[in-house]
Amino acid sequence: MRLQKRSDYDAVLKEIAGRVGRLAPTGAVADYIPALARVNPDQYAVCVQTLEGGTCTAGAADTRFSIQSISKVFATAMVIAKKDILLWSRVGVEPSGNAFNSLVQLEYEHGIPRNPLINAGAIVVSDELLELYEDPKKTLLHFVRELAGDESVDYDTEVADSEYATASTNRALAYYLKSHGNLRNDVEAVLDLYCHQCALALSTKALARALLFQANDGIIPSSRRRILTEDQSKRLNSIMLTCGFYDQAGEFAYQVGLPGKSGVGGGIVAVVPDVLSIAVWSPRLNEHGNSVLGIESLQQFTSLTGLAIF
């Protein structure tokens, strides 16, 4: 079934919200980041943004939350746009099969992260951003604001400070990268940028709009500005499909069948190429660090609409 009307998506989202709302609560918030531990775990929102400009929502779609690792997609796009092939000598494109902050895997592979969507890979991407841009925090913020069509998007400084203060494992990853010559800038400067990147706060509505360029071959639909070439966009979607959900990537592809990315703030965003983007937010996470109701919602969405890529 290929939906065409806004009312069709509205009906589907309302049905999904009703179904997941009847499920018994499972999972827990990411309490290892103190600022995230205080988030109300029972919030929920879902939003569809179509290439034709339609917006359909259910739940608290205007409530902002920390997008965490979803930001890795935007940072990676910024580096690909400038360097493309040169990035892949420092970061791989293979699924990790391990936790998002695995030190063992980085040691086993001699300081070359598996992909840019796990922590070690994202730290290398942050290192690249420091070299490419005079003020990378400001440039990243303006880039995400442009994608989201929302000038009020900002960093949640409380989350950034909380994450930076408790970044022991990420520091270990960064110093290990440094020991193998795969981190060029000061470790603390890289971590400061990385923690701010993860602390970007967007609503579900803004998040769905921000990734819509990846449903449109790398072009922002509202402005028609090209961010990535069609080939670069295709490859980034491929990385999201195979690497966007940590050590649950295969299961997500099996259950949902869309390129996407999750974050431990409870957000998930995915794209149906040439059709739409969809974002879900629910802070309770499973053992892999992915939103329990987010995955359930997206599984139901592709089952109800037939919009998986397979």
Cβ atoms 261, 117 nearer than 8 A: yes
133 is catalytic: no
Residues pairing with 155 in the sheet: 200
- Among 72, 178, 205, 261, the one annotated catalytic: 72
Is 162 a catalytic site residue? no
Q: Would residue 277 show up in a list of annotated catalytic residues for this protein? A: no
**Phi/psi-derived region of residue 42, left when phi > 0, alpha when psi is between -120 and 50, beta in every other case:** alpha
Q: For residue 262, indicate whether it is catalytic.
A: no
Q: Are 51 and 221 in contact (CB under 8 A)?
A: yes
Identified catalytic residue from 264, 272, 280, 292: 264
| 246 is known as an active-site residue | yes
Is-contact 5 48, C-beta < 8 A? Answer: no
Tokens found for residue 88? 């892949």
Which two three-digit tokens encode residue 52? 């034709």
Put the strands of the sheet holding 154-155 in their side by side order: 64-66, 200-203, 154-155
* From 246, 277, 282, 291, the catalytic residue: 246
Active-site residue, selected from the candidate residues 39, 48, 66, 69: 69
Among residues 44, 112, 121, the alpha carbon closest in space to that of 76 is found at 121
The active-site residue, picked from 190, 194, 203, 277, is: 194
Annotated active-site positions, please?
69, 72, 194, 246, 264
